[in-house]
Amino acid sequence: MALAEIGQPGTAVRMLEEGMAERTEDYARDTALGMAAIADAQLSRRDLDGALDTARRAAELVSRIGSSRVVDQLRAFAGKLPAGEPEAEEFRHYLDSLRTGG
């Protein structure tokens, strides 16, 4: 994620996606963590739609496997989303439902 933080989010997304391609279903939590990192990098390069799509997939996976670490990473991502953006608010609401179990 350091590449996104130093202004190279495109490189970060590419490298994270390459790493994710090698993962199997046996590593669901790691896959969800990777997706959350990709979403964060996509957001850094101002790809809101791509970031939200990736974050939704990570959230759907975590809803099945139950990982507080992934939820925490997704919460941090959600905190970076633009206020008032309908799709961002929808994602926050979905994430809240994961935290409360409903």
CB 69 within 8 A of CB 47: no
Cα dihedral sign, 59-76-21-87: positive
- E strands, the chain, are none
The residues, ordered by sequence, that sit 6+ positions from 36 with a Cβ below 8 Å of its Cβ are: 54, 55, 58, 70, 73, 74, 77
pLDDT digit string (tens) for the chain, length 102 residues? 454 554 666 777 777 666 666 655 567 888 899 999 999 999 998 999 999 999 999 999 988 888 888 999 999 999 999 998 999 999 999 998 875 444
Q: What pLDDT does 10 receive?
A: 73
Instruction: Spell out the domain ranges in the chain.
Output: 2-100
